[in-house]
Amino acid sequence: MVTATFRFYEELNDFLAPERRRREFACSCARAATAKHMIEALGVPHTEVELVLVNGESVGFDRLLEHGDRVAVFPRFEMIDVTPMLRVREHPLRVTHFLADAHLGGLAHLLRMAGFDTLYDNNFQDSEIETIAVRDRRIVLTRDRELLKRRSITHGCFVHTLKPPQQLCEIFDRLDLARSVRPFTLCLHCNAPLRPIEKAQALSRLPPSVRERFDHFSTCDLCQRVFWEGSHWHRMRAMLETCIDQTSGQNTGDSQ
């Protein structure tokens, strides 16, 4: 029987049983078990992991575990330069186009509002999400850890918070997105690019009160919706600015 000692760091502990959090613990391993197999058997999706050390040396997910191995598992690093080490995926996580699962429609809506290409359909099955994520190299956003354990999904984030505004801030913080926002450049409904449209061209699609009060509009050529800077726009803008301020402030504080 192979027994190895494990230690998980930072937010990876949230996936563990309470008695295993923030401490070393011994665990029996199946014969010919790899690092990836055991990490996921303990409840941590491989997409949440950035670096694995076995006996102090960086290894890939395919490392076969041996009796007495000491395994340290880390999430994405903020302050430590791990460039010389072997990261566990070929490409970085910070590809800023996303695929949200059926439970994260609100988050998808807000990411589009911030200008991030985000596919979402509440009819997507897990197999479809896997296929699209691999084909388009999208980051999968989900609260289903089993989805993130699928072998071919290499880029993903488990979303811990429950409400869409907090979820947006969580993703901004984890992937350092605040500097990349392009607010109100994508259709909130279709994910297609928006373009400016003359008021005269939009009149037939506007409520009477909007015709009287607003002069600047944008439209989606896919769904033909028209957008203007009304009260809903201002609420979303304020929410986005709050999120940017919060995450930028955290990053600035961490660097001091």
Structure-model confidence comparison of residues 187 and 180, the more confident one = 187
Lowest mean pLDDT among 92-101, 162-171, 177-186, 195-204: 92-101
Above 80 in pLDDT, residue 141? Answer: yes
The confidence band for 113, taking pLDDT boundaries of 50, 70 and 90, is very high
Structure-model confidence comparison of residues 95 and 185, the more confident one = 185
Structure-model confidence comparison of residues 92 and 219, the more confident one = 219
Above 70 in pLDDT, residue 50? Answer: yes
DSSP states along 20-74: GTTS-EEEEE-TT-BHHHHHHHTT--GGG--EEEETTEEE-TTPBP-TT-EEEEE
Its pTM stands at 0.78
In this structure, whether the domain defined by 2-74 belongs to CATH 3.10.20.30 is answered with: yes
Q: 3-state SS of the chain: helix, strand, coil percent to 5?
A: 35, 20, 45
Domain map (residue ranges) of the chain? 2-74, 98-183, 194-227
- Are the C-beta atoms of residues 205 and 224 closer than 8 Å to each other? yes
Instruction: Give residue 178's pLDDT.
Output: 85
Instruction: Give residue 80's pLDDT.
Output: 46
Q: What is the mean pLDDT of residues 36-53?
A: 95
Q: What is the mean pLDDT of the chain?
A: 89
At 234-252, the pLDDT tens digits run 999 999 999 999 887 554 4
Instruction: Give residue 249's pLDDT.
Output: 59
Q: What is the mean pLDDT of residues 54-69?
A: 94
Instruction: Give residue 205's pLDDT.
Output: 93
Name the β-bridge partners of 100: 120, 141
